[in-house]
Structure 1
């Protein structure tokens, strides 16, 4: 039996759309740019767009759809946002009400989708440099935390910066800073290395999103701004309706991450 090539973004999205791939997307899609999703009614779109523009490190904006259009051709001609994410979240008045694998039945003609950069996009470069990623090694979802750092508010949207964490040896953390600085559309370099309490994280082993980390002797926690930040803002703003990706389950685009800055700037 021939297995599908999950390093090819279009093949991976076809597997997701068919319901055959329902797990997290770290380590799949090759070196393709991955995206967080926030989908909101048009009446909330202007405020949310300004929120992303005012917070470019946690919310690097990759693309915005036309109202009611589930396509995002700037990121891939075959993308259909109703089907191409392994797991979504549906929100009503800031409360999580469902985590479906497909959102065709709740899609509306007034919805505007925002694709936001994801730290999974630089992971292939880290692995290529010989840096071991524990969540890939253990097949877990990367841990994510609400911090004491605050976003800049825009209209009704505000809230804490969410960060993702990857444990590393100090020498690897230094190399990760150098590598990730080349990926500004995937949150760029880490925002903090070391003591989690310094950024308001109370318990490293009790993340708000994802799985608890495994820390080994000699490792330090390395934190990146995270595209789950909009979900914290949605929970705080309490719009009547919203859709997001489930943390760790991303939209995989057709754009190679190393080329993303140039490609998206030229559109």
Structure 2
């Protein structure tokens, strides 16, 4: 199903149903505009408290929106009929910190000791940027956002540690200032940028080679603007080595029924 199908619809539920049928398996950037999207981490209860603390210690990279009870696959506080076994376009599965595969659903792997964490995503402020005439380049190009691993360390919690992952959206210097003003209103969607300008300062060598997502065009009069990214926990998971863990594939989020304005500091 094309991206434009859901750009013109207001129903996050309709998009989730399409994802559940495997009719949409791509990025959710720019889709179900105005609705909150979330990064997802699902791991055994024995790791849940350490990961919860990791999120609390790193609130910019890991802004917590919801946590389930052990074994609960619904998320009633986030939307109607959400089922965490089916409602992501693509799941990544880790065993002992190693990525072993990707799946369209995880029904056959579901266990009663699994806890789901949903974290804020920068896709949730893209609608606000677009409404102010600052449409992100990845939406213009119809592709996934560029994501990069930096040399900025996160704060350790038990077995969870690693480096910060960022998303990049290019803007002119004047528009970058406006983007700061807009996105700082959304702390639960990573808030304001954490770096603007020279990518080498945060350990990024080549903007044309993102670690995750797709490359986007950087024009001569533009500077790269970097926001913290919810892929950050995936690096920490590799280090913590839980026996089993599931996450969203980068750029392929849980679309909730919450409105972006629900997360905004107005």
TM-score norm. by structure 2 comes to 0.95
Residue 93 of structure 1 corresponds to which residue in structure 2?
96
CA distance in 2, matches of 1:258, 1:52: 22
User: What is the number of residues matched between the two proteins?
Assistant: 260
CA distance in 2, matches of 1:144, 1:261: 23
Residue 152 of structure 2 corresponds to which residue in structure 1?
149
Residue 136 of structure 2 corresponds to which residue in structure 1?
133
Deviation digits for residues 199-236 of structure 1 (CA, Å, limit 9, x no counterpart) = 12122222111112221121110000000000010112
CA distance in 2, matches of 1:152, 1:239: 18
Residue 258 of structure 2 corresponds to which residue in structure 1?
255
Matched, 1:243 2:246: yes
Preserved contact between residue 10 and residue 254 of structure 1 (Cα < 8 Å): yes
Worse-matched range after superposition: 18-27 or 43-52: 18-27
Preserved contact between residue 141 and residue 216 of structure 2 (Cα < 8 Å): no
Runs of 4+ in 1 over 4 A off after TM superposition: 3-6
Matches within 5 A, 1:65-144: 65-144=68-147
Matched, 1:52 2:29: no
Residue 228 of structure 2 corresponds to which residue in structure 1?
225
Residue 202 of structure 2 corresponds to which residue in structure 1?
199
Deviation digits for residues 119-161 of structure 1 (CA, Å, limit 9, x no counterpart) = 0000001011111321111121111111111110001001001
Preserved contact between residue 34 and residue 120 of structure 1 (Cα < 8 Å): yes
Preserved contact between residue 7 and residue 28 of structure 1 (Cα < 8 Å): no
Structure 2 residue ranges without an equivalent (≥5): none
Residue 173 of structure 1 corresponds to which residue in structure 2?
176
Report how far residue 107 of structure 1 moved.
1.2
Residue 216 of structure 2 corresponds to which residue in structure 1?
213
Worse-matched range after superposition: 147-156 or 5-14: 5-14
Report how far residue 97 of structure 1 moved.
1.0
CA distance in 2, matches of 1:157, 1:6: 39
1:85 aligns to what SS in structure 2? coil
Deviation digits for residues 157-187 of structure 1 (CA, Å, limit 9, x no counterpart) = 0100110000111111111000001101000
Report how far residue 38 of structure 1 moved.
0.5
Report how far residue 261 of structure 1 moved.
5.3
Preserved contact between residue 89 and residue 253 of structure 2 (Cα < 8 Å): yes
CA distance in 2, matches of 1:195, 1:142: 18
Report how far residue 6 of structure 1 moved.
4.2
Deviation digits for residues 233-263 of structure 1 (CA, Å, limit 9, x no counterpart) = 011222111000000000011110112358x
CA distance in 2, matches of 1:75, 1:156: 28
TM-score norm. by structure 1 comes to 0.94
Deviation digits for residues 4-26 of structure 1 (CA, Å, limit 9, x no counterpart) = 76431111111111111111101
